[in-house]
Structure 1
């Protein structure tokens, strides 16, 4: 049976700041992110299965991505916990703002790697994460492909 890629798109609003950066992005700002998640697998061949003919139900993929990424990052501000931004993060949290502290510089490149790890860990064993595309503006995006992960492959199977 053929292996088929399935893609679902998501959008969310997230703020961040890049500590130590030499441009405008050192300031707290936000993006209307668009995330395209592509998985690969073989469609279910058991005619008695309610998901017959599907690689994965789009609704099941949506639940995974929403719980791991969208519901967490939407309308939150992301800071690297290992920078002086931690003081700003604490102040925002004290004022009841949603803050995410990560162990990396919150660039699109690093966020897409983080998202790949989170999503891959939740996929069924017979489904692999094929690629992610995280778009932060209409003209700028970062992509992650399983086939590019030579040293530390994230996908299963």
Structure 2
């Protein structure tokens, strides 16, 4: 059966925007919130579209982490003390939305079922978020 589900996950992480000139150029932290709407066909045997815990795991890999552009000169220095999640560009809420969406969809691609992240919102603060929809590809 075709179905749509929703999951909300929050995490705490720091980042900085290497190519931005303003406050966000400095390393700082956020309480991020991610909202995800997924559509597709449920598994014939389990009647489950996507395991909620797998969505949570895809997001929680960022929890209590430092997220930096892979080209950021701070990366090697910080890695002497703490792991760094490196992104292909500045780790904005827009980019994190893409990365989380791709992680979830690629995890289910081998199943052969058409599972799509229809909408994903990544909240950087209580008053601002980036939203991607399936049509944005």
TM-score by length of 2: 0.85
Q: What's the offset of the Cα at 1:139?
A: 0.5
**Structure of larger gyration radius:** 1
SS of 2:96's equivalent in the other structure is helix
Structure with higher RCO (Cα < 8 A, 6+ apart): 2
Does residue 35 in structure 1 map to residue 45 in structure 2?
Answer: no
1:26–1:62 distance in 2 versus 1, CA, 3 Å? same
Determine the structure 2 residue equivalent to 1:109. 94
In proportion to residue count, which structure has more strand? 2
| Structure 2 residue corresponding to 1:73, chosen from 58, 62, 73 | 62
Does the 8 Å CA contact 1:77/1:99 hold for their aligned counterparts?
Answer: yes
CA distance in 2, matches of 1:62, 1:38: 14
Give unmatched runs, 5+ long, in structure 1: 150-157
1:121–1:26 distance in 2 versus 1, CA, 3 Å? same
Give unmatched runs, 5+ long, in structure 2: none
Does the 8 Å CA contact 1:8/1:62 hold for their aligned counterparts?
Answer: no
Superposed CA RMSD: 1.9
